[in-house]
Amino acid sequence: MSDAPLDRLKARLGEVSDINSAVSLLHWDQEVFMPPKAAEGRGQQLATLSGLAHRLFTDAEIGQMILQLMDKGDLSGDDAKLVSEAAYDYNQATKVPEAFVQKFAIAQSKAYEAWVAAREASDFKTFQPHLETMVSLLREKADLLGYEGSPYNALLGEYERGMTAEELKTIFGDLAPRQGALVDRIVNASQQPDLTWLDQEWDPDTQWDISMDVLRDIGYDFDAGRQDRSVHPFTINFDTKDVRVTTRIHPKELFSGLTGSIHEGGHALYEQGFLDKDRRTVLGQAISLGIHESQSRMWENMIGRSQPFWNRYASRLQVAYPGQLDDQSPEDFYRAINHVAPTFIRVESDECTYNLHVIIRFEIELALIEGDLTVAEVPEAWNAKMKQYLGLDVTDDANGCLQDIHWSHGSMGYFPTYALGNLYAAQLFETIEGAIPDLWKQVEAGDFAPLLGWLRSNVHEVGRRQTAVELIESVTGKAPSADAFMRYLEGKYLPLYGLG
């Protein structure tokens, strides 16, 4: 196997990877440290560098190098996978012509501005024409990318390759009524958690210190990353050895900063876990957004909202806030942090209702892309579904169909990955509980290394060698479905609400 042509391809792709790392750093800095007046210049720098990365990656020479390597057919294992994944990315990137990318970017920026104003005024009407443009551009984009079945599959494939609208309809169609029924029982349960003790001021610096400790405990490597503050928490990497997280801390919220840190920490553990030898290559990348989200949700919810976790950390918080938490038991923490209450806002919603928010969005955007719903009908459809799935009467568009940024960015096919992340997480976690019988003892002892070790070998180090469905099937022995997640929810929440 002569590697000279492969090495040349790797060098070229490495260059593109380095530029994308610089783009990520420009983004990170913008969210974390950039002074306000720098915004215009930063926008220009981002446009130039992103454009350059695209231009260099879609260079015809790279296409020829890939073709030649595939034609020769003498590669195997990782090398073959690297080339076929590069070929996939190359085809995706070259299917959409530069002119369309520019047209789309202009529409995006107008739609985003209109969305900010419309949400401010809680007036869908002013956003409507922009959303109409975005839907029509997204259908055009689906045609450019190509698809089988629903045009929605082309868009979904950008985030969750291999997943289809048809499959999602089956999975979500099973999930929604089961989850809805559970929420219904919980809301009407007579045994509700006491939340009054949470109504205090929680020193932000102390919150910060706790979140840093917990990140360290779960295995986040601070020599290969750092935590900072930002308005919206996020995880970003410039390299497997430089994966950074941010968090947001409110003095009135005891848990949201910490759970945010654990969530981003879960994302970061994934990216810190790619193999060294995959650095600067397509193999050292996330499989899909759903798998990415499975890692953050598993750490946040299955670990960070578990009783054993709070058996360990309740005292850490009690020591940190002297006199503020003396009357609380670990069970009180566990009950409070798992409080279920339907809300209008997705990002404020709990584990039991979260997927229902996602399914509402999926059903609406699928209908928009397939032409079964007009943009003008979105608020009505939204409000009807909120009533149906969550029992809530939406008061206004700001608390309804205008709450998310995604559609203004032209991101459709993105939302389902949030719910898939929850399902993947539950499915993986059932396997993990079988593979590590002492898991909960270890969590209670603050020893997260066996869990992280399992995730490293079975998920993180896979990189892009499998698709999400392939990974779930090979690791758990089953196709993605709602079952494990429902078992997890019911196993946790029925006893919690005295519905056992």
The residues annotated with a catalytic role in the active site are: 264
* Helix and strand numbers, DSSP H then E, in the chain: 20, 3
Q: Three-state DSSP class for 97?
A: coil
Specify the residue, 25 or 499, whose C-beta has the smaller distance to a second copy.
Answer: 25
In angstroms, the CA 320 to CA 417 distance is: 36
Minimum distance from residue 108 beta carbon to a second copy (Å): 20
Minimum distance from residue 215 beta carbon to a second copy (Å): 13
Residues in touch with a second copy (CB under 8 A): 14-15, 18-19, 21-23, 25-26, 29, 33-38, 40-42, 44-45, 48-49, 52, 221-226, 238-242, 279-280
Minimum distance from residue 17 beta carbon to a second copy (Å): 9
| Residue 242 CB partners (closer than 8 Å, separation 6+) | 224, 225
Specify the residue, 243 or 378, whose C-beta has the smaller distance to a second copy.
Answer: 243
In angstroms, the CA 351 to CA 437 distance is: 25
| Residue 114 CB partners (closer than 8 Å, separation 6+) | 126, 127, 129, 130, 408
Minimum distance from residue 283 beta carbon to a second copy (Å): 16
Specify the residue, 35 or 477, whose C-beta has the smaller distance to a second copy.
Answer: 35
Q: What angle do CA 85, 234, 157 make, to 5 degrees?
A: 30
Minimum distance from residue 18 beta carbon to a second copy (Å): 4
In angstroms, the CA 421 to CA 72 distance is: 38
Specify the residue, 24 or 458, whose C-beta has the smaller distance to a second copy.
Answer: 24
Minimum distance from residue 135 beta carbon to a second copy (Å): 33
Q: What are residue 244's phi and psi, to 5 degrees?
A: -110, 150
Specify the residue, 34 or 145, whose C-beta has the smaller distance to a second copy.
Answer: 34
Specify the residue, 197 or 208, whose C-beta has the smaller distance to a second copy.
Answer: 208
Minimum distance from residue 26 beta carbon to a second copy (Å): 6
The answer to whether 310 and 110 are in contact (CB under 8 A) is no
Specify the residue, 34 or 381, whose C-beta has the smaller distance to a second copy.
Answer: 34
Among residues 276, 278, 272, the alpha carbon closest in space to that of 235 is found at 272
Minimum distance from residue 30 beta carbon to a second copy (Å): 10
In angstroms, the CA 301 to CA 179 distance is: 16
Rounded to whole angstroms, what are the CA distances from 127 to 79, 122, 171, 188? 47, 10, 31, 37
Query: DSSP assignment of 176-210, as one string?
Result: HHHHHHHHHHHHT-S-----GGG-S---HHHHHHH
Query: DSSP assignment of 450-463, as one string?
Result: HHHHHHHHHTGGGT
Rounded to whole angstroms, what are the CA distances from 83 to 91, 279, 283, 471? 12, 15, 10, 20
Among residues 292, 300, 302, the alpha carbon closest in space to that of 489 is found at 302
239: exposed, middle or buried (C-beta count within 10 Å: 0-12, 13-18, 19+)? Answer: middle
Specify the residue, 46 or 341, whose C-beta has the smaller distance to a second copy.
Answer: 46
Among residues 324, 326, 305, the alpha carbon closest in space to that of 259 is found at 305
